[in-house]
């Protein structure tokens, strides 16, 4: 049994949830998100809660039950509080700045790396070595942070590169004489 799927998703005040067949639309103060639930899962709204149940007892239904509940809960949290991911730039001369809406980074290449924000994502640069990525869609925030990190991942010898805030980079010892 899914322990996650059994839990009901609380819908806070100020958030409206519309269920149209298998499509769930969540609208809140920060925006609107929609997602289509798998056919094996039945979703109901009772008062201020959303409950999900399996229509049949198959392995796929079991797998989709907890996933669907988590994705719906993430949508509700996204439209109320939003999500934020912080990246750190470590290295001599590594810095970030805003060019209009786009993010411009100097990462040791011969050119600046400019990244336009995807729809629904905003960049903030509080310090030259720190980037904050925020939005209402948890998957898009994480994917955007991963794409930026992939440009210059942290290397194990000096630790230079783009890393998540608080990420521990496993260091290696250099050559010995």
Q: What are the extents of the domains in the chain? A: 3-80, 83-164
Question: Is-same-fold flag (3-80; 83-164)?
Answer: yes
**pLDDT of 106 over the 70 cut:** yes
Do 27 and 15 meet the contact criterion of CB atoms below 8 Å apart?
yes
Would you say domain 3-80 falls under CATH 1.10.490.10? no
- Predicted pLDDT at 2: 65
CB-based contacts of 19-24 (< 8 A; 24+ apart in sequence): 19/43, 19/44, 19/45, 24/50, 24/72, 24/75
pLDDT digits (tens, 9 = 90+) for 109-156: 999 999 999 999 999 999 999 999 999 999 999 999 999 999 999 999
Query: CATH number of the domain at 83-164, out of 3.40.640.10, 3.90.930.12, 3.40.50.10070, 3.40.50.12780?
Result: 3.90.930.12
**pLDDT of 1 over the 80 cut:** no
Please state the pTM of the whole predicted model. 0.89
């Amino acid at each position: 049994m899914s322990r996650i799927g059994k839990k009901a998703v609380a819908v806070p005040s100020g958030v409206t949830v519309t269920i149209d067949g298998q499509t769930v639309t969540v609208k809140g103060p920060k925006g609107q998100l929609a997602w289509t639930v798998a056919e094996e899962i039945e979703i109901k709204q009772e008062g201020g809660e959303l409950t999900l149940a399996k229509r049949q007892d198959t392995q796929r239904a079991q797998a989709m039950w907890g996933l669907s509940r988590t994705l719906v809960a993430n949508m509700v949290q996204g439209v109320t509080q939003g999500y934020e991911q912080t990246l750190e730039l470590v290295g001599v001369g590594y810095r970030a700045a805003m060019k209009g809406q786009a993010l411009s980074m100097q990462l040791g290449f011969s050119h600046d790396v400019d990244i336009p924000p995807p729809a629904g994502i905003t960049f903030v640069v509080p310090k030259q070595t720190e980037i904050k990525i925020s939005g209402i869609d948890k998957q898009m925030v994480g994917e955007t942070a991963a794409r930026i990190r992939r440009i210059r991942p942290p290397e194990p010898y000096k630790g230079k590169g783009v890393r998540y805030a608080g990420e521990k980079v496993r260091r290696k010892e250099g050559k010995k004489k």
